[in-house]
């Protein structure tokens, strides 16, 4: 036996659940739902219902093992909710998950796919490892029918229990960033540095601070010395700007390699930003930044910066998969 709709006199409807929206129309003033489906009829609703001509209404007759869409959506959202996420009230059968603070969104995509394989269950999310802001909607849940079998929701809850939360926010660290700017043309004052202001803005966007900016010219020894100096000062990340091409005077990649840094990748399959270098001195990331960071809105650097500031360690695989979908206007 399944839950069903039933017509009842208004006088017998108190405590029962509306099966559909009831619309109020006042010409020139109001046109919209007076009560939404799922509303539990109260004695104080009687006058308003009579005012829109309702002497009989459709209600839901429940049977054990079936859920109203609002309850089902809330249970899905609760099952996948991880750290720094809050839930909205159900509205028209949908529950939204919102970021409680700025950070990096982590989504277990395989389990999202598994949940959506359950018939008439909907879990829609942003992609994993994207920066999100406090108050931003990062996912939403619902079921398709008004009445949904509880057994389907129990399947969702079983999938959600298998490991870490399906959805969670990884907050940004309170990081300090050093900037080493290469190029004799900048160090000798022939041209004005344009990297500094742009990197200040990008780093501050994620709550980190600039420890300082130095100018090393094209001397490998100076580049290495200034990177090491920032590390000694407590930098959590060092950005080395310029000198990333194959020209003889571009010394950044060689300087970083000769320091003994662990190079994850010199080059990425994303455009713009293919000349990005990612390396580590111990746990401290060192990035060689290509010139496109100055003039392109989104480069490979913008993909990895929030991940690094959230404390993630970048792997070679995470670099190589950028090629699929990694072509941007350039």
Residue 329's pLDDT is 66
Cis before 272? omega within 30: yes
- Exposed/middle/buried for 2, CB within 10 Å: 0-12, 13-18, 19+? exposed
| C-alpha closest to that of 310 among 67, 18, 83, 22 | 83
Would you say residue 323 has pLDDT above 80? yes
Would you say residue 219 has pLDDT above 60? yes
CB 243 within 8 A of CB 250: yes
pLDDT level of residue 330 (50, 70, 90 thresholds): low
Mean pLDDT of 305-312: 97
Q: Which helix (DSSP H) or strand (DSSP E) does residue 38 occupy?
A: none
How far is it, in rounded angstroms, from Cα 138 to Cα 274? 29
pLDDT level of residue 36 (50, 70, 90 thresholds): confident
Residue 190's pLDDT is 86
Among the residue ranges 19-28, 38-47, 84-93, 287-296, the one predicted with the least confidence is 19-28
Residue 86's pLDDT is 98
Count of beta carbons in the 10 Å neighbourhood of residue 56:
12
| C-alpha closest to that of 240 among 261, 248, 99 | 261
- The CATH-assigned architecture of domain 176-323 is 3-Layer(aba) Sandwich (3.40)
* Mean pLDDT over each residue of the chain, to the nearest integer: 92
In the numeric block, which tokens belong to residue 327? 């072509």
Share of the chain above pLDDT 90, in %: 75
How far is it, in rounded angstroms, from Cα 84 to Cα 170? 8
* CATH number among 1.10.287.310, 3.50.30.40, 3.90.1170.30, 3.40.50.12160, domain 66-170: 3.90.1170.30
Residue 3's pLDDT is 67
How many residues in total does the chain contain? 330
- Cα 270 to chain centroid distance, Å, stands at 20
CATH 3.90.105.10 domain locations along the chain: 4-61
Report pLDDT digits (tens) over 106-157: 999 999 999 999 999 999 999 999 999 999 999 999 999 888 999 999 999 9
C-alpha triplet 254, 258, 261: angle, nearest 5°: 105
Would you say residue 315 has pLDDT above 90? yes
Q: Which helix (DSSP H) or strand (DSSP E) does residue 286 occupy?
A: strand 284-289
Q: Residue for token digits 């080493």? A: 180
Would you say residue 220 has pLDDT above 70? yes
C-alpha distances out from residue 285 to 30, 155, 279, 328, Å: 59, 41, 6, 25
Mean pLDDT of 66-95: 94
CATH 3.40.980.10 domain locations along the chain: 176-323
Mean pLDDT of 208-227: 94
Would you say residue 309 has pLDDT above 70? yes
Residue 292's pLDDT is 93
pLDDT level of residue 19 (50, 70, 90 thresholds): confident
Residue 1's pLDDT is 54
CATH number of 4-61: 3.90.105.10
Query: Which of 3-12, 162-171, 217-226 is predicted most confidently?
Result: 162-171
Would you say residue 246 has pLDDT above 80? no
């Amino acid at each position: 036996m399944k839950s069903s709709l039933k017509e009842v006199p208004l006088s017998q409807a108190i405590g029962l659940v509306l099966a559909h929206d009831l619309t109020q129309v006042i010409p020139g003033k109001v046109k919209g739902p007076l009560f939404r489906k799922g509303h539990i009829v109260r004695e104080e609703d009687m006058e308003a219902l009579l005012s829109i001509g309702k002497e009989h209404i459709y209600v839901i007759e429940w049977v054990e093992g079936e859920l109203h869409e609002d309850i089902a959506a809330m249970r899905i959202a609760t099952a996948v909710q991880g750290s720094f996420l809050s839930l909205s009230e159900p509205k028209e059968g949908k529950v939204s998950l919102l970021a409680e603070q700025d950070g990096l969104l982590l989504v277990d995509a395989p389990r999202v796919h598994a949940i959506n394989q359950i018939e008439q269950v909907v879990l829609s999310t942003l992609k994993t490892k994207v920066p999100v802001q406090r108050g931003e909607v990062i996912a939403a849940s619902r079921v398709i029918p008004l009445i949904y079998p509880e057994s389907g929701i129990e399947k969702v809850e079983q999938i959600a229990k298998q490991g870490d939360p399906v959805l969670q926010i990884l907050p940004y660290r309170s990081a300090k960033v050093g900037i080493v700017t290469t190029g004799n043309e900048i160090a000798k004052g022939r041209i004005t540095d344009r990297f500094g202001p742009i990197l200040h803005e990008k780093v501050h966007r994620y709550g980190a601070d600039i420890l300082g900016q130095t100018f090393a010219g094209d001397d490998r020894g100076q580049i290495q010395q200034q990177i090491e100096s920032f590390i000694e000062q407590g930098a959590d990340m060092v950005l080395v700007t310029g000198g990333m091409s194959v020209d003889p005077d571009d010394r950044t990649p060689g300087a970083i390699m000769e320091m003994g840094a662990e190079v994850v990748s010199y080059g990425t399959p994303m455009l713009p930003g293919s000349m990005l270098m990612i390396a580590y001195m111990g746990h401290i990331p060192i990035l060689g930044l290509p010139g496109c960071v100055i003039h392109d809105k989104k480069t490979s650097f913008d993909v990895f910066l929030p991940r690094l500031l959230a404390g993630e360690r970048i792997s070679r695989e995470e670099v190589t998969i950028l090629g699929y979908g990694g072509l941007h206007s350039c």
